[in-house]
Chains A and B, each alone.
Chain A
Amino acid sequence: MTLAEQEKRFQEKIDNEIKIEPNDWMPDAYRQTLIRQISQHAHSEVVGMLPEGNWITRAPNLRRKAVLLAKVQDEAGHGLYLYSATETLGADREQTIDDLHSGKAKYSSIFNYPALTWADIGAIGWLVDGAAIMNQVALCRTSYGPYARAMVKICKEESFHQRQGYESLMVLCNGTPQQKAMAQDALNRFWWPALMMFGPNDAESTHSEQSINWKIKRFTNDELRQSFVDATVPQAEILGLTIPDPNLKWNEERGHYDFSEINWDEFWQVVKGNGPCNKERIEARVKAKQNGLWVREAANAYAKKRAMKKSA
């Protein structure tokens, strides 16, 4: 079969909603796009453990501590599936992680913002997991089989996290004035970074069009961002919190909320590594890998000894 024929058959499968599986022929650019996107997603899960993990030891009561532990454990699990999904495309997990550490691979910029108060843990669940779900629900139908299937399980857990986050903010908003102020402050700091999670405007997004044709992406960045705003504004109203955007208002004609332009300068600064915590996050991951080197070496050495004993 010629390359052109293979490409034609591949696109036909995509058009007919037939999932692409690891052993199927696929264009190299499709493979590379998926490796980039899935590994970014995996890195986001793993880096995302840091801002939340830093509150495990300070959680305000035992139930919240247990819930947060379970959540962060889920995230590590998501990271694991997603790294496995990249391996089905021929990527090497260690290499993928090294790309994160060298700055070559990206992760969700939201985790470069600090988690300063307990309310931030609620806000991360509500807004960050909420925004992630908008992206990920669409990915449950993505064209690459292993990714789509991983997303089904991940989405179930993420929507649980989103509700837990929202519920914990509800408690603060029904609590003392101090607690409510803590919740408002968290919303003030996380609102814009959450909107930035959907990436650049469609006109600026380099990977969008091809990804839509390949059905890796099902909706554009701006469409997803709009859905998120529309879903989240009423939730903020129920909490009695104010979204920090003076231009936010319902547009009858569009049937959507209008909102202010994102500060794209801040967006690109954080993407380029100049966010409040970029340096700390990567340093923490690099340090974990370095400090764990002897542990991994030990596990490998032991496994080798065992295998030799067995074959002897």
Chain B
Amino acid sequence: MQQPALFEYVLRMADDSLILGQRLGEWCGHGPILEEDIAMTNISLDLIGQAISLYDLAAELEGGGKTHDDLAFLRFENQYKNVLLVEQPNGDFAMTMLRQFFFDAFRKPLYEALCKSPITQLAAIAEKSLKETRYHLKHSSEWVIRMGDGTEESHQRAQAAIDHLWRYTAELFYEDTIDEQLQAQQQVPVLKEIQAAWMETVKAVLSEATLVLPTNNWKFEGGRQGRHSEHMGYLLAELQYMQRAYPDMQW
């Protein structure tokens, strides 16, 4: 492999998209209103589409002749590098939307920065995905505001979701030698800058929603190294079911 750091970087992004897309797909047919069934399947579809492009790029960088499906379906749990946030269970609609909001608010500035990457394939994926992500962020932000500034119950549920998910947000900005190598070559953005943009969005939306940031700094990490929460195994059991039960077949 010629560019192992870039491969790992792209794989992390692909896994974030896939796992969140998988989670959103669980909502199908069970949304609070029909319009949200449409919105959530649509966002899931966008994320799966992004995952396909990113896995294609990762497979090309790896150079072993793998397909996007090999990467998406045929790894062991500790080889998935998504952040813990995206694998967390859907919970109620507030939990799903807050998870989405924290992620969208991270992805938007990340894609904006990656549009300028000298790695042209990654820049092209970022450009296409940015358009989708702007809509996702608009959608999730609007729901956070509606729930926060809606009824007493919705406010409480939204705040509970923030309080629960907050511990997983720091990992969005996790950096290690993979990032440092690519940053040194100015191929990817420094996550501190993305974090500043993220925090600005989070503060603005939560303030309009009359919701508050938790004061504790309790944080969980591990996903980027393949150390997941207990939820991940079940998610993968469903995701991989067909590929594991019927190996080496075309579908």
Interface residues of A (CB under 8 A from B): 46, 49-50, 53-54, 56-66, 69-70, 72-73, 76-77, 79-80, 83, 118, 168, 171-172, 175-176, 178-179, 284, 287-288, 291-299, 301-302, 305
Contacts and interface: CB of A to CB of B under 8 A. Distances in A.
Interface of A is mostly: helix
A72 B154 CA distance: 28
Contact of B151 (A54, A61, A294): A294
A304 to B, nearest CB: 10
Contact of B30 (A79, A288, A302): A288
Contacts of A171: 250-251
Contacts of B28: 49, 53, 56, 69, 72
A54 B30 CA distance: 11
A302 B146 contact: yes
A72 B45 CA distance: 11
Contacts of A305: 149
A11 B146 CA distance: 49
A66 B246 contact: no
Given A56-B28, A292-B33, A295-B32, A61 B251 contact: yes
Contacts of B89: none
Nearest to B146: A302
Interface of B is mostly: helix
Interface string B204-245: 000000000000000000000000000000000011011100
Given A76-B38, A175-B249, 13 more contacts: A53-B28, A60-B243, A63-B52, A76-B41, A79-B34, A171-B250, A176-B246, A179-B246, A291-B30, A291-B32, A292-B31, A294-B151, A302-B145
B153 A297 contact: yes
A54 B93 CA distance: 19
B153 A62 contact: no
Contact of A288 (B32, B238, B250): B32
B34 A83 contact: yes
Given A61-B251, A302-B149, A72 B41 contact: yes
Contacts of B35: 80
A140 to B, nearest CB: 23
A70 B46 CA distance: 10
B22 interface: yes
B146 A299 contact: yes
B175 interface: no
Contacts of A297: 150-151, 153-154
A168 B238 CA distance: 20
A57 B22 contact: yes
Contact of A299 (B51, B150, B250): B150
Give 7 nearest A-B pairs by CB, closest first: A292-B32, A298-B150, A298-B154, A53-B28, A60-B242, A295-B32, A60-B251
B154 A295 contact: yes
A58 B241 contact: yes
A296 B69 contact: no
Nearest to A176: B249
B154 A57 contact: no
Contacts of B246: 60, 176, 178-179
B68 A62 contact: yes
Nearest to B48: A66
Interface in B58-82: 68-69, 72-73
Contact of B41 (A64, A73, A291): A73
